[in-house]
Structure 1
Amino acid sequence: MRPEVQTFVADGPLPDGDASEEEIDRRDHQLAVICRPVTPEEAAALAACFGPDDCYGVAWTLVHLIETAPGSVPQWEDPGPEAGYWAEVLRARWGGGLTASTA
């Protein structure tokens, strides 16, 4: 996994809309520096980084980045109720490439 993807993933889920403008800009910039396409492994790791809302559109940037992964739909674990909406978005767009969480 490339360092810029590791950095984004290590910072955890996107913040909610109550986060500071600086934090939202920082996370948006982290996504902007990730060269497209991502690998299926990177897409799976990124899919676990959705937060509770759209983070002023940053979540949609994340969706579009994940979708650049070549080949078949990556398999990833359901991130749980925190990211329920975003898991549903990816399920709908990928046609079911989501696996149930084992936690």
Structure 2
Amino acid sequence: MRAEVQTFVADGLLPDDDGDEGEIERRVRQLEAIRRPVTTEEAHALATCFGPDDCFGVAWSLVHLIETAPGPLPSVTRPGPNSDDWQHTLWSRWGV
């Protein structure tokens, strides 16, 4: 896994819309530093980084980055009833 992806994933979930502006800008820069396409492994790791809301659209940028992986992504399981909206969004968009 590339260092840029590892850094993004290590910083955890995206902040919510009430998050610090500097933190949101930093995460955007991290996301923009990841060259496309991502690998399947990277896509799975990135899919763990969604926060509670769309983070001023940053979450949609993350969805589009994940979608650059060769797909449909293997070993993706159907989200359970307690899964967040982003996992359901990825499930439906990956077409599995």
Structure 2 length-normalised TM? 0.89
SS in 2 for 1:48: coil
Kindly state the Cα deviation for residue 70 of structure 1 after the two structures are TM-superposed: 1.6
The 8 Å contact of residues 46 and 66 in structure 2, kept in 1 or not, is answered as yes
User: Does structure 1 residue 62 correspond to structure 2 residue 62?
Assistant: yes
Cα offsets for 1:58-102 (capped at 9, x unmatched): 000000000000243243465x94x61101110110123xxxxxx
Q: 1: CA distance between counterparts of 2:76 and 2:9? A: 14
Structure 2 residue runs without a partner (length 5+): none
Residue identity opposite 1:26 in structure 2: R
Looking at structure 1, the residues matched to 74 and 21 of structure 2 have their Cα atoms a distance apart, in angstroms, of: 32
Does residue 39 (structure 1) correspond to residue 39 (structure 2)? The answer is yes
Q: Deviations over 1:12-56 (max 9, x none)?
A: 010111111111010011000000000000000000000000000
1:1-103 alignment to 2 at 5 Å?
1-76=1-76, 81=82, 84-96=84-96
Seq. identity, %: 64
Tell me the amino acid that sits aligned with residue 46 of structure 1: L
For these two proteins, the number of residue pairs brought into alignment is: 95
Question: Aligned Cα RMSD in Å?
Answer: 1.9
Runs of 4+ in 1 over 2 A off after TM superposition: 74-78
* Aligned counterpart, 1:99: none
**Which amino acid is 1:32 matched to?**
E
